[in-house]
Chains A and B, each alone.
Chain A
Amino acid sequence: MTPFEIGLISVVAMVAMIYLGVYIPIALGLVSFVTIWILRDSFELPLALLKIAVGDSVTEYSFATIPLFTFMGLIVSRAGMGEDVYRVMNTLFHKIMGGVGMATVGANALFAAVTGSSIASASVFTKVAVPEMIKLNYNKRFAVGVVAGSSVLGMIIPPSAMLIIYAIVAEVSVGHMFLAGVIPGIMLAIAYIVAICGMSAINPKFVVNEGAGQWDGAELLTWGQMVALCLPLIGLVMMVLGGIYTGWLTPVEAGAAGAALGLLLAIFRRKIDLKGFWNALLETGHITAAILFLITAASIYSRMLGIAGIPNALGDFLDTYQLGFTAVMVMLVLLMLFLGTLLDTASIILIVVPLFLPIVEPLGVSLVWFGIIVVIGAEIGLLTPPLGISCFVIKSTINDPNITLKDVFMGALPFAAVMLVVLIILIEFPILSTALLP
């Protein structure tokens, strides 16, 4: 067998093992280790590579963005910032049909600018927005679907753990990835709002049930209250993204400053005690360890691909059949949709990027743009059955037997479709991702 064939078999074996339920970092590491051992007929070589991957790949300054932004996200969730922006958005959108849905999207977009996790967004907004929509007699599928769909914004609008992970694997700047995520994130939020308008115009039954209740006029905020509720969030965004944009702070420093400000805010509002603080730190550590171990394993996998010559062979294959850029993009999107049925976003990014990066790099495209495509493509998987993580989080947070997992998936499907459309637009017009780059 040629090295290429062995490599290909090992990639297939790896995906099969992951589907069977093997821990993803273990599957990546173990298969890569054995493959290199077979290819080079030496136990010492994979051992040496493992040593380098484990010992060196974690000692990277920009990795510190992961715990810092994770901590910031956990703290601002505890500080109740998601609920605040939701109330503001509700006041703005309350007169329109499907308004609570639009408010959820808007609030998610703003909240996403201070958290990097779709899971945090999904659980916060399931608690505040879904009961409200049910009360106003919205269609239950729409209610959970809109929360699932808009939770994805958490990972696209910076700061975002996924943008950081891509930046690390592709060796581009974390700051550039953050800036590149701004326009696509806002675009997606607007696309969701337009889609909700369209749904209520074309098929109102999908949005609200017959005889839907009108807003009862309670809980509306004055302009002054709205400003007061938004101010802390805007301050945090200015500090973090503004700091990175002007070059005053590195992404790592921006994360630390954001974490400290978020903490001060939570203390000021008496939303956090020592136990809550310790739990947030603990959670941060767990998430960091899980993600960085995954990245370590992915670096072994990427070396294995190189040794087997897979990316070169794929490139030759494309040359031979005269398949150009469009074919590569179609393959990429299809592969990500397939993996998205069962895998989480970070794993998809770590499996796909080492395969495709050597192919797209010679095409002379922007790697930052490519990152935005990969992150959004991989995130569609959060919404698709059988294992859309956002949908699972919503189902387990909601605790209502009348809403099944199927309802969540069916409700999220239109939003997954909107994501796909936005993804195609972003592929077609790279300028949307690169416009803000210095």
Chain B
Amino acid sequence: MQGNEPETAEPRAGSALTRVANQAARFMAAIAQVANAAGTLVVLGLVVLINSDVVARNAFNAPFAGTYEAVQFLMVMIVFLQLPDVVRINRLTRSDGFLGLIAGRRPAIARFAARIIDGASACFMAVIAYAMWPEFQRSWSEDMYFGTPGIFTAPYWPIHLVITFSAALCALIFLTKSISGRRRPEMLHLEESGA
């Protein structure tokens, strides 16, 4: 269950809009994969950080200051760096019984429904990006800090930046999916989250 279902290209030639969307999709896929690799390194960092803290606390009686805050910070990085790639490989949680069912009988309708859903998803992610952007501007210009003063502080702006960036990228990936419609609804039930 790797879920890495490649989006199979459709044989029919697309319109100019579809071609642009496909090119944009490839470009954004590359960005999503870079962000994903960065997020994967953060997962590794999280394991190393907490283990070092446990060892330092028990063996040397010297816990790290600010592990708690650093973990919170890293969690945001993991989630939002990985999210665009999750969207790209169609692993965002969904229930696909119905779509799968109609895909067997009326593939055109299923494909259309899948495109509408991707379009609506693009709108929602865009609203998140729109909501977070002013937050980023504020934390950037006002030097907002995160954590407990004197123990561990980190600037707030990377958190707001990564959320804005991630939501915007997700919106664009959804948009290209919606325009190009490059997916097979009959394969949907193989895509599910790790639950």
A-side interface residues toward B, CB under 8 Å?
Answer: 18-26, 29-30, 33, 47-48, 50-51, 54-55, 58-61, 63-64, 67-68, 70-71, 117, 119, 123, 161-162, 249, 252-253, 255-257, 259-260, 278, 281-294, 342-347, 386-387, 389, 392-393, 396
A274 to chain B, nearest CB (A): 12
Q: How far is the CA of A141 from the CA of B26 in the complex (A)?
A: 44
Q: Which residues of B contact A30 (CB under 8 A)?
A: 120, 123-124
Contact of B54 among A25, A50, A256, A392 (CB under 8 A): A256
> Can you name 29 A-B residue pairings with CB atoms under 8 Å?
A19-B95, A19-B98, A20-B113, A21-B114, A21-B188, A24-B92, A33-B127, A50-B127, A54-B131, A59-B75, A60-B75, A61-B71, A64-B46, A117-B195, A119-B1, A161-B194, A278-B40, A285-B82, A288-B78, A288-B82, A289-B78, A289-B80, A290-B86, A290-B92, A291-B193, A345-B195, A347-B93, A386-B97, A389-B192
Q: How far is the CA of A389 from the CA of B191 in the complex (A)?
A: 11
* Distance to closest chain B CB from A239 (angstroms): 11
CB distance from A341 to the nearest CB of B (A): 8
User: Scoring B residues 43 to 86 as 1 if CB is less than 8 Å from chain A, else 0, what string do you get?
Assistant: 11011001101100000000000001001111110111111011
B residues engaging A (CB < 8 A)? 1-3, 36, 39-40, 42-44, 46-47, 50-51, 53-54, 68, 71-76, 78-83, 85-86, 89, 91-99, 113-114, 117, 120-121, 123-124, 127-128, 130-132, 135, 159-160, 163, 167, 185, 188-190, 192-195
* A residues in contact with B96, CB < 8 Å: 21, 387
Chain A residue at minimal CB-CB distance from B195: A346
Is A288 a contact of B132 with CB atoms below 8 Å? no
A59 contact set on B, CB distance < 8 A: 72-73, 75-76, 159
Instruction: State the CA gap A189–B130 with chains docked (Å).
Output: 49
12 further contact pairs, Cβ within 8 A, besides A59-B72, A344-B192, A346-B193: A26-B92, A26-B124, A50-B131, A71-B43, A161-B194, A253-B50, A286-B85, A290-B91, A292-B79, A344-B195, A386-B97, A387-B97
- Alpha-carbon distance A147/B68, docked complex (angstroms): 39
- Distance in angstroms from B51 CB to nearest chain A CB is 5
Which single member of B50, B76, B94, B121 contacts A58 (CB below 8 Å)? B76
Cα–Cα, bound, A24→B92 (Å): 8
- A289 touching B163 by the CB < 8 A rule? no
- Residues from chain A with Cβ under 8 Å of B42 in the complex: 285
Chain A, residue nearest B58 (CB): A248
In the docked arrangement, what's the CA distance between A294 and B159, Å? 19
Q: Looking at the complex, which one of B39, B44, B159, B189 makes contact with A387 (CB distance below 8 Å)?
A: B189
Q: How far is the CA of A64 from the CA of B78 in the complex (A)?
A: 10
Q: Across chains A and B, which 7 residue pairs bring their CB atoms closest together, nearest first?
A: A287-B194, A256-B50, A289-B82, A21-B99, A290-B193, A346-B195, A285-B82
Which B residues lie within 8 Å of A161 (CB)? Answer: 194-195
What does DSSP make chain A's interface, helix, strand, loop or mixed? helix
Q: A51-B131, A294-B93 are in contact. Are A23 and B117 (CB under 8 A)?
A: yes
Using known A-B contacts A59-B75, A344-B195, determine if residue A396 contacts B190 with beta carbons closer than 8 Å: yes
Q: With a CB–CB cut-off of 8 A, which chain B residues contact A23?
A: 92-94, 117, 121
For the residues of B in contact with A, the DSSP-based class is helix
Residue of A nearest to B102 (CB): A21
* Distance between Cα atoms of A47 and B72 in the complex (Å): 23
> What is the minimal beta-carbon distance from A43 to any residue of chain B, in angstroms?
10
Check A67 against B46 for contact (C-beta < 8 Å). yes
Residues of A within 8 A of B160 (CB): 55
A173 CB to closest chain B CB, in angstroms? 16
- What is the CB-to-nearest-CB distance from B41 to chain A, in angstroms, rounded to a whole number? 8
Tell me, in angstroms, the Cα distance from A17 to B131 when the chains sit together.
24
Residues of A within 8 A of B185 (CB): 21
Contact across chains for B86 and A289 when beta carbons are under 8 A apart: yes
Whole-angstrom distance from the CB of A246 to the nearest CB of chain B?
13
A281, B94: Cβ atoms under 8 Å?
no
B44 touches A281 (CB 8 A): yes
Expressed in whole angstroms, the minimum distance between the Cβ of A181 and any Cβ of chain B is 16
Q: Is B47 a contact partner of A344 (Cβ separation < 8 A)?
A: no
**What's the Cα separation between A50 and B188 when bound, in Å?**
29
Complex Cα–Cα for A370 and B121 (A)? 33
CB distance from A252 to the nearest CB of B (A): 6
Residues of B within 8 A of A24 (CB): 92-95
Whether A344 and B128, one on each chain, are in contact in the complex, defined by CB atoms closer than 8 angstroms, is no
A119 to B1 CA separation, bound complex (whole angstroms): 9
By beta carbon, the residue of chain A nearest B103 is A21
Complex formed: what's the CA distance from A158 to B154 in Å?
Answer: 34
A284 to B127, CA, bound (A): 27
B95 touching A18, Cβ below 8 Å: yes
Q: Is the CB of A285 within 8 A of B78?
A: yes
Contact B193 A294 (CB under 8 A): yes
Which chain A residues border B73 with CB–CB below 8 Å? Answer: 59
User: Which residue of A47, A282, A289, A294 contacts B131 across the interface (Cβ within 8 Å)?
Assistant: A47
A21 close to B113 (CB less than 8 A) = yes
Let me know if B75 and A63 touch, CB within 8 A.
yes
In the complex, A285→B123 CA distance in Å? Answer: 24
Q: Let me know if B135 and A252 touch, CB within 8 A.
A: no
Q: Are A282 and B51 touching (Cβ within 8 A)? A: no
Cβ–Cβ contact A293 & B195, under 8 A: no
Q: Which residues of B contact A67 (CB under 8 A)?
A: 43, 46, 75, 78
- B163 to A54, Cβ gap below 8 A? yes
B24 to chain A, nearest CB (A): 21
- Asked if B124 and A64 sit within 8 Å, CB to CB, the answer is no
Residue of B42, B51, B160 with most chain A CB atoms under a 10 A cut-off: B51
Do the beta carbons of A68 and B47 come within 8 Å of each other? yes
Q: Which of B1, B76, B121, B193 contacts A393 (CB 8 A)?
A: B1
Q: Tell me how far the C-beta of B7 lies from the nearest C-beta in chain A, rounded to whole angstroms.
A: 16
